[in-house]
Amino acid sequence: MGSYLITGGAGFIGANYVRHVLANTDHQVTVLDKLTYAASKASIDSLPADRVTFVQGDVCDADLVDRLVTDADVVVHFAAESHNDNSLNDPSPFIRTNLVGTYELLQAVRKHDTRYHHISTDEVYGDLELDDPERFSESTPYNPSSPYSASKAGSDLLVRAWVRSFGVQATISNCSNNYGPFQHVEKFIPRQITNLIDGIHPKLYGAGLNVRDWIHVDDHNSAVQAIVERGVIGETYLIGADGEMNNKSVVELILTLMGHPADSYDHVNDRPGHDMRYAIDSAKLRSDLGWAPAYTHFADGLAATIDWYRANEAWWRPMKAATEAKYAQAGQ
């Protein structure tokens, strides 16, 4: 039995990861989360108190981070400012949390010689043309587009430098777009599902031809666990489930699954600098660590996600009005 420190464990992917660790290992878990607007303590409140300890705090707080890392065997760092649209309105928390927060964690794991896994995104690679035959791989050069993706790229480079210069025992994963339960309603898929529950048309940025490579959050987290347990120190692994689809097709599928005409959506203002396409080649993860996704049919995972939002209105309702008010200001 070991002790995991999971940062950002009250956010979307982190909360699902805490559940994954509890269900699949006998480890103890400490969650460090600042409880920003993006968090929901309710996502982890029902978990067993004898296995999960919650600490409200900031990953930029060096003393707190050092104290928590002292007691940890493994650190898995999910905490971040994660939403591109917010980073275009105000980049400052992205620079602080994503860069300074990662720096503080790296200093602590360096001091205590603690195993560290860094959660990152495919957005560090920039975007691809729609007809590009290549997908992102571990050797694709970094070329981030937004303040969010630039801050994540910077945090990845800090990790690489701490591995090379100080021998920190770290791995990095860069994953594509996640969907599933407990995702904040600011994000594309839950926004459209909850709009439809509220009788509002889904909102498509621009023409809706941008492509994302969708993966169920449980598949992201099973890959993270494979890397934590069997990954080679210093290595980067790309995580993806061959789920490329353009936004228009995703909206049409949500509408159909929820019993509406497939064309009953609105076009709204596009995102400035909007990345056209992300696509992941996860061959290294699959061949080296034997990982494979469990959700191979996007429509099935999406239908289960729609059921979850229908059944858990009490979870998302408190965040819906403020989120839509922010989008309304941007004409989105």
Residues recognised as catalytic: 122-123, 148
Question: Residue 210 interacts with ligand DAU (CB under 6 A)?
Answer: yes
Helix (H) or strand (E) holding 24: helix 12-24
174 is a site residue for ligand DAU (CB under 6 A): no
User: Does the protein bind ligand NAD through residue 121 (CB under 6 A)?
Assistant: yes
Does 180 contact ligand NAD by CB under 6 A? no
* Contact status: 116 vs ligand NAD (CB under 6 A): no
What is the phi/psi pair of residue 53, to 5°?
-110, 130
Q: Tokens 């660790």: give the residue.
A: 21
Closest CA to 69 of 156, 9, 6, 20: 6
**Nearest Cα to Cα of residue 238 among 164, 193, 291, 182:** 291
CA–CA separation, 329 and 85 (whole Å): 12
12 binds ligand NAD (CB under 6 A): yes
Binding segment (CB under 6 A) for ligand DAU, from list 164-172, 201-209, 236-244, 294-302: 201-209
Backbone angles phi, psi at 210, to 5 degrees: -65, 140
User: Which listed option, ligand DAU, ligand NAD, none, makes contact with residue 246 (CB within 5 to 8 Å by class)?
Assistant: none
Q: Which partner in ligand NAD, ligand DAU, none is near 188 (CB below 5 to 8 A by kind)?
A: ligand DAU
Is the CA virtual torsion 53, 58, 63, 65 positive or negative? Answer: positive
Contact between 7 and ligand DAU by CB under 6 A: the answer reads no
Q: Distances in Å between the alpha carbon of 289 and those of 232, 239, 293?
A: 10, 12, 12
Convert residues 273-292 into a mask of x (bound to ligand DAU by CB under 6 A) and - (unbound).
-----x--------------
**Does position 305 bind ligand DAU by CB under 6 A?**
no
For residue 160, what are the contacts with CB-CB under 8 A and spacing of at least 6? Answer: 172
Compute the radius of gyration of the chain from its Cα atoms.
19
Distance CA 259, CA 261 (A): 7
Site track for ligand NAD across 32-61, x = CB under 6 A: xxxxx-xx------------------xxx-
| C-alpha span between 166 and 160 (Å, rounded) | 10
212 touches ligand DAU by CB under 6 A: yes
* Residue 82 interacts with ligand DAU (CB under 6 A): yes or no: yes
Report the residue from 175, 228, 255, 268 that binds ligand NAD according to the rule CB under 6 A: 175
* 191 touches ligand NAD by CB under 6 A: no
If the CB atoms of residues 126 and 231 are measured against ligand DAU, the closer one turns out to be 126
Contact 63, 38 (CB under 8 A): no
Q: In the bound complex, what is the minimum distance in angstroms from residue 280's beta carbon to ligand DAU?
A: 9
Chain residues 42-81 in contact with ligand DAU, contact rule CB under 6 A:
none
Question: Which range of residues in 96-104, 159-167, 186-194, 294-302 is near ligand DAU by CB under 6 A?
Answer: 186-194
Do 35 and 81 contact (CB within 8 A), yes or no? no
Q: Which residue is nearest to ligand DAU (CB)?
A: 121
Question: How many whole angstroms separate alpha carbon 137 and alpha carbon 157?
Answer: 16
The single residue among 44, 69, 196, 204 that binds ligand DAU, judged by CB under 6 A, is 204
Q: Which residues bind ligand DAU (CB under 6 A)?
A: 82-84, 121-123, 176-177, 187-188, 191, 203-205, 210, 212, 247, 271, 278
